[in-house]
A and B are shown apart, each in its own frame.
Chain A
Amino acid sequence: MRRLPLSLIVGAVLSSIFLIAAGLSLLWTPHDVTALDISARFQPPSPEYLLGTDQFGRDILSMLMVGARTSIAVALVAVAIGMALGVPLGLAAAARRGQLLDEIVGRGNDIVFAFPFLVTAILISAVFGPSATNAIIAFGIFNVPVFARVTRSAALPIWTLDYILAARTAGKGQVRISLEHILPNILNVLIVQASIQFSLGIPVEAALSFVGLGAQPPLPSWGRMLADAQTMIYTNPRLALLPGLAIVTMVLGLNLMGDGLRDVLDPRLRRLRA
């Protein structure tokens, strides 16, 4: 058995802390995040409130757990949307390289890329009102051309290989070749890209919620916790530190995991090591 890269192990440990906390929050949190208790506001950390309380007396640890859930849900669903639409588009564009379909996919990508992601989110919120769902849709739209491009450019060199010609002499069509030969051989690239987009999604969700275009009260989210904390930064800086640290740790974990995955899955590197 090959030794796993250190970055993969560290990254997996860091990210699973948050995954577990988010999962656990579905069943149990130390305190109810919707219960307001003004008498217990701005409590410092204590055995009762491990990370203290906020301006409404809510338990910060519980808020962070539920906030992790919001972040992960938004980022994950947006990546799923991006992959579900982008990968088939990229595969089709690569199969029909230089033809009309390829051209249309390419132009479509250019147009989506012309909209800075936050602008898309703002446009959607302007008309449909801000919500976590709209954050998902905006980031999902942004992810589609990302995956379409990565898929296409990973698939193109494979289409020139002799085993594709061999498959064609075996009577296989473009769809079957894309599924049997292309997709399995670019899966590593897609997994790595998915981990990158997922880790991008965490701060993106936080930023949207921070400016009020993401998750709405009473749903706790790291970005909204930071927005609330900003108004009290002179009196209670602790409130601004904890959610930020949570974001940094989680994103760092996901990035390290992505790097590690790339090392494990990249066949070029694997051949060198073997």
Chain B
Amino acid sequence: MLRYLLGRFTSLGLSLLVASLVIFAVIEVIPGDPAAFMLGLNATDETVANLRAELGLDGSVVSRYFDWIGGMLTGDFGTSYTYRVPVAELVVDRMWVSLPLALYALILSTVVAFPLGVIAASMRGTAAEVGIMGLTQLGLAVPNFWFGMLLVLVFAVSLQWVSAGGFAGWDDPWAAIVSLTLPAISLAVPQAAILARVMRSALVETLGQDYIRTARAKGLTRRQAVLRHALRNALIPVLTILALQFSFLLAGSIVIENVFFLPGIGRLLFQGITQRDLIVVESVTMLLVVAVIAITFLADIAYVIADPRLRRR
């Protein structure tokens, strides 16, 4: 088992290395002179030269790459050009919005999707299944940012229960949760639809396996067979989707944070682009990639726990 995880760990480390090379190449090599790029067409030679010195762009490409990676490893993500503060500080601030939002959405979608998937699978051919599947079709078709706008329209514009967006910080936890609720719902709806469908088809497939028949021959009722034998096996493919979903939620929050004016990582990245703040873009992108890869690794560990066949490898 350790050997299997070590193998996965090595390959994920490799992915990280290649990903960092790609990001570095796109941001620092392809534009030619990042300093000129950041300052735009109207910059004087002098200001460009100043910025070059400030960014440490005078060194060779190789030494700049190692400086960047070394900085990332020690928590020094560089200094934002527009905000004039360390990127690490900005990221930590924004993380307190994005991470709770992604988790909130993940929990919402799981709590809704699991029962729906299980009900649809164990009541095949009934009106309940048809209804649930129709609902998930609709959920799949609704873009999350438009669903967010609809929620604003209903709850902020018409009913005026909540404000249309913004985030006042965690000083008042209840207010913070309330202001994250509409964004989390809009993020969760399409994900819940996907999850429910995957849960259903994984369960339907598991229910057709020989060992379910064996369990029934031992005297288990249908419900007992589902709960004791099918669910855990069906969870294995669902785990893959859950890991993938986290990366979708992170990415999705870039758009949703724009709809609800939330000061999160996504908005930071987005502002980095519009203000050509390459230092912010470079480091935040790398952080997002690290997060996705870390989640993938966690999913791998979960696999090993769920499936003893992997433990021997």
Q: Does A267 contact B (CB under 8 A)?
A: no
Q: Does A29 contact B (CB under 8 A)?
A: no
Q: Does B30 contact A (CB under 8 A)?
A: yes
B289 touches A119 (CB 8 A): yes
* Chain A proximity of B14: nearest CB distance (Å): 7
Kindly name the residue among A115, A119, A125, A207 whose own CB sees the greatest number of chain B CB atoms within 10 A: A119
Q: Does B149 contact A (CB under 8 A)?
A: yes
- Give which listed residue, A111, A122, A237, A244, contacts B146 with CB less than 8 A: A244
- Determine the distance from Cα of A211 to Cα of B272 in the docked complex, in whole angstroms: 13
A116 touches B142 (CB 8 A): no
The interface residues of chain A lying within 8 Å CB-to-CB of B23 are 123
- Determine the distance from Cα of A125 to Cα of B273 in the docked complex, in whole angstroms: 8
B289 touches A211 (CB 8 A): no
* Chain A proximity of B277: nearest CB distance (Å): 9
The interface residues of chain A lying within 8 Å CB-to-CB of B276 are 126
B11 touches A110 (CB 8 A): yes
- Determine the distance from Cα of A115 to Cα of B244 in the docked complex, in whole angstroms: 11
- Determine, out of A42-50, A84-92, A250-258, the stretch whose residues face the partner at the interface: A250-258
**Chain B residue nearest in CB terms to A200:** B140
The interface residues of chain A lying within 8 Å CB-to-CB of B270 are 122, 211
- Determine the distance from Cα of A109 to Cα of B108 in the docked complex, in whole angstroms: 29
The interface residues of chain B lying within 8 Å CB-to-CB of A119 are 251, 254, 269, 285, 288-289
Q: Does B27 contact A (CB under 8 A)?
A: yes
The interface residues of chain B lying within 8 Å CB-to-CB of A110 are 11-12, 15, 296
- Determine, out of B79-87, B150-158, B174-182, the stretch whose residues face the partner at the interface: B150-158
**Chain A residue nearest in CB terms to B164:** A233
Known interface pairs A119-B251, A126-B278, A126-B281; A233-B149 also in contact (CB < 8 Å): yes
Known interface pairs A123-B26, A251-B141; A211-B153 also in contact (CB < 8 Å): no
- Determine the distance from Cα of A207 to Cα of B266 in the docked complex, in whole angstroms: 13
- Determine the distance from Cα of A249 to Cα of B138 in the docked complex, in whole angstroms: 9
The interface residues of chain B lying within 8 Å CB-to-CB of A233 are 149, 152-153, 157, 164
B247 touches A116 (CB 8 A): yes
- Determine the distance from Cα of A233 to Cα of B146 in the docked complex, in whole angstroms: 12
B19 touches A248 (CB 8 A): no
- Determine the distance from Cα of A110 to Cα of B295 in the docked complex, in whole angstroms: 13
Question: Dominant SS at the B interface?
Answer: helix
Kindly name the residue among A122, A213, A226, A230 whose own CB sees the greatest number of chain B CB atoms within 10 A: A122
The interface residues of chain A lying within 8 Å CB-to-CB of B26 are 123-124, 126-127
Size category, B interface: 35 or more
* Chain A proximity of B262: nearest CB distance (Å): 13
Question: Dominant SS at the A interface?
Answer: helix
* Chain A proximity of B245: nearest CB distance (Å): 11
A255 touches B137 (CB 8 A): yes
Q: Does A240 contact B (CB under 8 A)?
A: yes
**Chain B residue nearest in CB terms to A204:** B143
Q: Does B255 contact A (CB under 8 A)?
A: yes
Residues of B6-24 at the interface with A, using a CB-CB cut-off of 8 Å, are 11-12, 14-16, 18-19, 22-23
Residues of B246-289 at the interface with A, using a CB-CB cut-off of 8 Å, are 247-248, 250-252, 254-255, 258-259, 269-270, 272-274, 276, 278, 281, 285, 288-289
Kindly name the residue among B18, B269, B273, B293 whose own CB sees the greatest number of chain A CB atoms within 10 A: B273
* Chain A proximity of B290: nearest CB distance (Å): 9
Residues of A203-248 at the interface with B, using a CB-CB cut-off of 8 Å, are 203, 206-207, 210-213, 226, 229-230, 233-234, 237, 240, 243-244, 247-248
Known interface pairs A233-B153, A251-B141; A114-B146 also in contact (CB < 8 Å): no
The interface residues of chain A lying within 8 Å CB-to-CB of B272 are 126
Q: Does B95 contact A (CB under 8 A)?
A: no
B251 touches A118 (CB 8 A): yes
- Determine the distance from Cα of A203 to Cα of B153 in the docked complex, in whole angstroms: 20
- Give which listed residue, A124, A207, A252, contacts B255 with CB less than 8 A: A207
B149 touches A226 (CB 8 A): yes
> A-facing mask of B216-257, CB < 8 A → 1, else 0?
000000000000000000000000000010011011101100
- Determine the distance from Cα of A125 to Cα of B142 in the docked complex, in whole angstroms: 25
- Determine the distance from Cα of A213 to Cα of B138 in the docked complex, in whole angstroms: 26
Which residues from chain B sit less than 8 Å from chain A, CB to CB? 11-12, 14-16, 18-19, 22-23, 26-27, 30-31, 37, 137-138, 140-143, 145-146, 149-150, 152-153, 157, 164, 244, 247-248, 250-252, 254-255, 258-259, 269-270, 272-274, 276, 278, 281, 285, 288-289, 292-293, 296
- Return 19 A-B CB contacts under 8 Å, by A number: A111-B15, A114-B289, A115-B289, A119-B251, A122-B254, A123-B285, A126-B27, A127-B27, A207-B255, A210-B258, A226-B146, A233-B149, A240-B146, A244-B142, A244-B146, A247-B143, A251-B141, A252-B138, A255-B141
Which residues from chain A sit less than 8 Å from chain B, CB to CB? 107, 110-111, 113-119, 122-127, 203, 206-207, 210-213, 226, 229-230, 233-234, 237, 240, 243-244, 247-249, 251-252, 255-256
Given A114-B296, A116-B250, A210-B255, 16 other A-B residues pairs in contact with their CB atoms under 8 A:
A107-B14, A113-B244, A113-B296, A114-B292, A118-B252, A122-B281, A123-B23, A123-B27, A126-B26, A127-B27, A127-B31, A206-B145, A206-B146, A243-B146, A244-B142, A249-B141
The 7 closest A-B pairs by CB, nearest first: A116-B251, A244-B146, A203-B143, A118-B251, A251-B141, A252-B141, A116-B247
